[in-house]
Structure 1
């Protein structure tokens, strides 16, 4: 693989990767907040700003090995009425968000392929590749 292919791959993979990590961590924090825990909100983590969620080592690992991670959202189960159930719901929120993104991206890829005669190729190809990468990243 030459340098141009590597750069192209990073350009295609970066947006869905950043969106997936951010949405995943936001889902954890949002569910915790809805269950009564203000910790993530107080830490400024209830945002779609990827800079608040990114772990530099996780991003580097993604560039090199195609696997990455974000900083975990802080959660204090003492705020929940039922700490066990609350932690279960918070834990499931992240993977649930990823599955939602994967299904949504797959639907959009299918829609793009149906509309391809009406969309210029220079727009269709990178968009379809990013959406397909989003399915791959989120599953």
Structure 2
């Protein structure tokens, strides 16, 4: 496992993401650590309250529990939100604003405490850029 030193805390290049019960395990390639973490205030994200990070589609690999993942879609049916069907924890989603990226639940990363991220900005998901008339 490759480690980069950024600031006072070493950043792992590969991270393991788990749901609460351990049925779902995902490997994320995050060579720069958790970059630009954020919250969203859309109707769904506001209720789940997770801090999200972003990575590219090739940088995520489901190690186990693909059969335990459930999919939830709403509104435009573009974003694909995944959660563990056993414990209910949101693990990741394919983004609506950029379907070539996944958002992931920072709170599910092993060895990462979301409180260590400090102040996390909130995106305006209520007024999503894809909903604006051109």
Question: How high is the TM-score relative to the length of structure 1?
Answer: 0.28
- If each structure's strand is expressed as a fraction of its own residues, which one has the higher value? 2
Q: Which has the higher contact order (CA 8 A, sep 6+)?
A: 1
- If each structure's helix is expressed as a fraction of its own residues, which one has the higher value? 1
Question: How high is the TM-score relative to the length of structure 2?
Answer: 0.29
